Homo-oligomer: A and B are copies of this chain.
């Protein structure tokens, strides 16, 4: 894609963003409901486009499920749009307002970020989800989906834009980059004149590429090497429930539990139980030397294991000498996503929460709760693993910026 064309796309998005920021909440909700109806009405065209993507012999078997759309999945997308319409609108909220020494009234008011760039892989539902969240918060969005899903994304964006047009809203609120080459993606990541923030969603590799190449500010999402630390004062039955839930319920996602640390005082009593429970659930168990000294047929864990996010039915267990050792290990190897301690000791729990460097730090609960819906945000555009702007689950509020709106009566600075 020529640089000029990409610039034009950016310019169009920026122009659209100026009008989106002025829409009333009611109007935005009406448009979201119109999009939901349009998805249902134009379901056949979407499924036909999706079938073309699925026919591509180069699509790997493991991506088929992510890529495939069905009538049910389209209904789920439409339901998602209706849910976003029902959420409160953060735009225009004033975080605080005050009068300064010079007598100026200063109000810190929530505004859209402007233009959001979404870079994602094979899941076409991201096209609809991200468009809905960006639109509700008055942001224009430029979508760059994976090449495997190009026809599906084209069809979905066409439907969403038809609803924008029918509602007399600038269609360029939602745009798709049709050229899925790496070269164009690279240019897109440097479109600083028009794009205010990039949100990559997908594999660790995709996110790393964006972090390395982008000059547009990035919100890093998704990597989750999450730990559960079983303290010496843990209820062991509770620990098992939390570990099994964290590992088994949905092993492919970023808030799944990947590592277990066990205090040495309970290792001998607990290891046989937890290893059996994990294996009964189909999990491959790896462990350090101390673990294998107690359950000898555990696969040896290597140094690489401690830093790996398996996203699979695999877990690694390490025996630690103290809570301090558990905290040091976690802060060294984690991705700052979600960490949990199981303990009945008040002090141990509070120290863990204070000292662990992560977006979400749990006492006696599964790491799987790190999720915009579980947090009550009603939506989620991703889970941030950086500390700037947003950390943890990102809902509508995290898609806003602010400006200072200042009223005077002729003040000049002394």
**Nearest chain B residue, comparing its CB with the CB of A244:** B412
By a CB distance below 8 angstroms, the chain B residues around A217 are 217-218, 386, 388
By a CB distance below 8 angstroms, the chain B residues around A349 are 407
Indicate if the CB atoms of A369 and B245 lie closer than 8 Å. no
Contact bitstring A395-414, B, C-beta under 8 A = 1, else 0: 00000011111111111110
Bound Cα distance A204, B98 (Å):
32
Bound Cα distance A362, B56 (Å):
56
Nearest chain B CB to A300 CB, angstrom units:
27
By a CB distance below 8 angstroms, the chain B residues around A409 are 364-365
Indicate if the CB atoms of B241 and A410 lie closer than 8 Å. yes
Is A192 at the interface (CB under 8 A from chain B)? yes
Bound Cα distance A91, B246 (Å):
30
Bound Cα distance A244, B410 (Å):
12
Would A391 and B402 be within 8 Å (CB), given that A217-B217, A411-B365 are in contact? yes
Is A357 at the interface (CB under 8 A from chain B)? yes
**Nearest chain B residue, comparing its CB with the CB of A365:** B408
Would A410 and B362 be within 8 Å (CB), given that A18-B355, A197-B387, A391-B403 are in contact? no
Bound Cα distance A365, B355 (Å):
45
Contact partner of A410 (CB less than 8 A), chosen from B357, B364, B368, B370, is B364
Looking at A100-108, A121-129, A143-151, A274-282, the stretch in contact with chain B turns out to be A100-108
Indicate if the CB atoms of B388 and A242 lie closer than 8 Å. no
Task: Report A's interface with B, CB cutoff 8 A.
Answer: 18, 21-22, 98, 100-102, 104, 106, 113-114, 192, 196-197, 211-212, 215, 217-219, 235, 238, 241-242, 244-246, 249, 331, 349, 353-355, 357-366, 368-370, 374-376, 386-389, 391-392, 401-413
6 additional contacts (CB under 8 A) given A114-B357, A217-B388: A100-B369, A102-B365, A197-B387, A242-B412, A365-B411, A391-B402
